A and B are shown apart, each in its own frame.
Chain A
Amino acid sequence: DAMVIQNPRYQVTQFGKPVTLSCSQTLNHNVMYWYQQKSSQAPKLLFHYYDKDFNNEADTPDNFQSRRPNTSFCFLDIRSPGLGDAAMYLCATSRLRQGSNQPQHFGDGTRLSIL
């Protein structure tokens, strides 16, 4: 089955220690997204790639960066995690660019804990 896979499912890191979350997709979709979701909150878009074109949301902290080395993979790098960065991180894909009236397909998320 074509899908969106996030690794690891659970990640624990220390305050200030860089961490990388990964996402891969077999859907061959052009667009990949990273969302942050805190408990009982709406998923919040951090950034997305349309092919190799990176699009950062205006309120995404500089601490968060992303890489997309190829169509299938996308990484979320948190350079110096703070306690407030503990959250569920969701990766999603879509075939067409956002706003094209089509749904996004989500992975199962990585839950990040900060010690």
Chain B
Amino acid sequence: DQQVKQNSPSLSVQEGRISILNCDYTNSMFDYFLWYKKYPAEGPTFLISISSIKDKNEDGRFTVFLNKSAKHLSLHIVPSQPGDSAVYFCAASPMDDKIIFGKGTRLHILP
């Protein structure tokens, strides 16, 4: 049973607009959440993370929001750029245990 769910396999967004990638989780013990970005033929690259004591973390164009009551997190990219086209993995871990990954969402930035 999937503990980290990314229900949208793909998403298309116009260049310059906001991209919003969503992730839901089931394990209330998760206390650390991450987003990774993956280009074809490359390994995942760490993008941004958030601890469960926060509800928002921002790094440049990337912002992660955490809603613990809904067990939901989202990644906002604004403005979206062509280089943002990639697969984005949501991941989570409880304290002292392994990171669990979602299946990924493929983001296409349209010109």
Contact = CB atoms under 8 A, between A and B. Distances in A.
Interface residues of B, number: 28
Contacts, number: 61
Interface string B73-104: 00000000000000001000111111111111
Contacts of B102: 42
A45 B98 contact: yes
A68 to B, nearest CB: 17
B41 A108 contact: yes
B16 interface: no
B97 A98 contact: yes
A99 B41 CA distance: 28
B32 A101 contact: yes
A43 interface: yes
A20 B102 CA distance: 27
Interface string A88-105: 001010000111010111
Given A99-B95, A103-B49, A42 B44 contact: no
A29 to B, nearest CB: 13
